[in-house]
């Protein structure tokens, strides 16, 4: 093995293009920054630290995202009920201390196409509306899924998001006939319960078309039953086995708007504000070659998180987070874990090229089905090892008091500036 003293580093600095600035993309970025600075990656625990020669490698990282900042997506139910929570849930990329480095760049835009053979991404710049071409040596695809409002905000910059979230919170407060949430999946449950946390006086009704909540999730009945119990304890009225077949505006004036919802069983309910929490999530992968995708548009990866298809330069193309075709329920913990492994494998590949060292790549294991829900003052948790549990103590450890905003921020150490 060549000596690491005074390495003959090529003049060309490896360029890493990260598409998506959420959990997976940022996790990969901050861990790669650590590794290229000759440090242990920040997600590596003390008990599992590995030997890494303390050598520095040059790297140039560009993050491209449709938004102008990092948005704490799992806190969306709280952000759309509380203006104060909203202001804390979105941080512009240039304001994140851990990313204030001369070799980390941000581009707000939409990726149009990726040419894997030429290693070039064509991006429509949000500000200039111009098409620009970004060359890269390594690509990390982490742009996630396309979801509808209000499951996710539609605003693409922080100021517009704050206005959007505050308007939604005001509509909740002003709903004299109460709030109806349509859809009993994870988002609907958390949106309904967070409204009761923020505005405990408000009448909240959740309507779900199936006989059990979370009917689309591969989870045991006791988890679904515990979720229903916690939702009712939070003060939410739950109507199961009924579809909303008609929504009609029955009153509009300068002060308020009311709605009449007709259910499939013939029942009618009034609402001052209606939230549709049903969203068929679709991968944001249309910019990739079809050979990289499965039939549903998810990116096919191997255990090293590289593209697993008939793709030129597949060993330089990685994907992580919700956009990948992988086992388990999609969640932010899994996305950050994938990002961590991508960082290690990209770094190992860089060291192979710089030092001709035999790389040791991380391999991703299958993900079991795991879910955690914040329901009022309780968390309802399921994993295949311990089964279902719920309680206020679990709420504190899994979500804190801000739907895990601080937990995710601190885990990625986004608030810690890096010495240049």
What CATH number does residue 176 fall under? 3.50.50.60
- Is residue 231 located within the same domain as residue 338? no
3-state secondary structure of 173: helix
Q: Tell me the pLDDT band of 55, cut-offs 50, 70 and 90.
A: confident
The answer to the question of residue 181 being in a domain is yes
Question: Residue 260 pLDDT > 90, yes or no?
Answer: yes
- Is residue 259 located within the same domain as residue 390? yes
DSSP-derived pairing of the beta strands 15-19 and 60-65? parallel
The answer to the question of residue 82 being in a domain is no
A 10 A CB-CB count for 108 gives: 20
d(CA 351, CA 170): 53
The number of C-alpha atoms within 13 Å of 162 and in the hemisphere containing its C-beta is 10
The answer to the question of residue 157 being in a domain is no
Q: Which of 237, 225, 235, 239 is nearest to 373 (CA)?
A: 225
Distance of CA 53 to the CA centre of its chain: 33
Q: Output the pTM of the full model.
A: 0.93
Mention every residue, 6+ apart, whose C-beta is less than 8 A from residue 355: 1, 2, 4, 7
The answer to the question of residue 247 being in a domain is yes
Alpha helices in 152-239 (DSSP H): 158-173, 186-198, 221-233
CA distances in angstroms from 8 to 57, 181, 353, 356, listed in the order given: 11, 61, 11, 11
Question: Residue 1 pLDDT > 50, yes or no?
Answer: no
- Is residue 263 located within the same domain as residue 393? yes
3-state secondary structure of 182: strand
d(CA 56, CA 370): 37
Q: Tell me the pLDDT band of 44, cut-offs 50, 70 and 90.
A: confident
- Is residue 175 located within the same domain as residue 288? no
Q: Report the pLDDT value the prediction gives residue 250, as an integer from 0 to 100.
A: 86
Q: Report the pLDDT value the prediction gives residue 49, as an integer from 0 to 100.
A: 54
A 10 A CB-CB count for 48 gives: 8
Q: Report the pLDDT value the prediction gives residue 6, as an integer from 0 to 100.
A: 34
DSSP-derived pairing of the beta strands 268-271 and 273-276? unpaired
The answer to the question of residue 381 being in a domain is yes
- Is residue 170 located within the same domain as residue 302? no
The answer to the question of residue 155 being in a domain is no
Question: Residue 418 pLDDT > 90, yes or no?
Answer: no
Main-chain phi, psi angles of 268, to 5 degrees: -120, 140
Range of the domain at 327: 15-59+103-147+281-367
Mention every residue, 6+ apart, whose C-beta is less than 8 A from residue 187: 76, 77, 151, 277, 279
Distance of CA 243 to the CA centre of its chain: 29
- Is residue 22 located within the same domain as residue 135? yes
Mention every residue, 6+ apart, whose C-beta is less than 8 A from residue 161: 71, 86, 90, 153, 155
d(CA 166, CA 85): 10
Q: Tell me the pLDDT band of 384, cut-offs 50, 70 and 90.
A: confident
Domain total in the chain? 2
- Is residue 342 located within the same domain as residue 360? yes
- Helix (H) or strand (E) segment spanning residue 335: helix 332-355
d(CA 7, CA 57): 10
d(CA 66, CA 111): 9
Bridge partner list, 301: 307
pLDDT digits (tens, 9 = 90+) for 168-223: 999 999 999 999 999 999 999 999 999 999 999 999 999 999 999 999 899 999 99
The answer to the question of residue 87 being in a domain is no
- Is residue 375 located within the same domain as residue 267? yes
Q: What percent of the chain has pLDDT over 90?
A: 84
pLDDT digits (tens, 9 = 90+) for 103-114: 999 999 999 999
């Amino acid at each position: 093995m060549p000596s690491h003293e005074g390495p003959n580093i090529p003049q060309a600095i490896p360029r890493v293009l990260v598409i998506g600035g959420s959990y997976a993309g940022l996790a990969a970025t901050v861990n790669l920054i650590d590794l290229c600075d000759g440090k242990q990656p920040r997600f590596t625990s003390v008990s599992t630290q590995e030997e890494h020669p303390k050598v520095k490698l040059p790297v140039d990282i560009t993050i491209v995202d449709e938004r102008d900042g990092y948005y704490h997506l799992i806190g969306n139910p709280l952000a759309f009920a509380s203006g104060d929570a909203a202001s804390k849930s979105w941080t512009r990329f240039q304001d994140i201390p851990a990313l204030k480095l001369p070799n980390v760049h941000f581009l707000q835009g939409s990726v149009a196409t990726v040419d894997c053979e030429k290693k070039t991404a064509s991006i429509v710049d949000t500000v200039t509306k111009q098409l620009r071409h970004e060359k890269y040596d390594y690509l990390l695809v982490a742009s996630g899924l396309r979801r509808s409002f209000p499951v996710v905000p539609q605003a693409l910059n922080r100021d517009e998001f704050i206005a959007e979230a505050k308007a939604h919170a005001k509509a909740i407060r002003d709903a004299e006939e109460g709030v109806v949430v349509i859809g009993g999946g994870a988002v609907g449950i958390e949106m309904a319960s967070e409204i009761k946390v923020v505005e405990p006086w408000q009448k909240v009704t959740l309507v779900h078309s199936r006989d059990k909540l979370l009917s689309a999730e591969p989870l045991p009945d006791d988890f679904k039953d515990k979720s229903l119990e916690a939702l009712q304890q939070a003060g939410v009225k739950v109507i199961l086995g009924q579809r909303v077949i008609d929504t009609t505006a029955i009153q509009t004036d300068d002060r308020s708007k009311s709605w009449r919802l007709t259910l499939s069983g013939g029942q009618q309910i009034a609402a001052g504000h209606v939230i549709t929490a049903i969203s068929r999530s679709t991968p944001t992968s249309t910019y990739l070659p079809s050979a990289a995708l499965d039939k549903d548009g998810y990116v096919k990866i191997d255990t090293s998180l590289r593209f697993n298809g008939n793709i030129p330069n597949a060993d330089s193309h990685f994907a992580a987070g919700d956009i990948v075709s992988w086992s388990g329920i999609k969640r932010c913990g899994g996305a950050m874990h994938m990002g961590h492994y991508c960082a290690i494998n990209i770094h190992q590949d860089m060291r192979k090229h710089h030092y001709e060292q035999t790389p040791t790549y991380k391999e991703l294991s299958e993900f079991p089905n795991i879910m955690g829900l914040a329901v009022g003052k309780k968390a309802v948790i399921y994993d295949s090892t311990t089964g279902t549990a719920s309680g206020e103590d679990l709420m504190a450890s899994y979500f804190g008091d801000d739907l895990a905003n601080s937990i995710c921020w601190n885990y990625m150490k986004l608030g810690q500036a890096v010495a240049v």
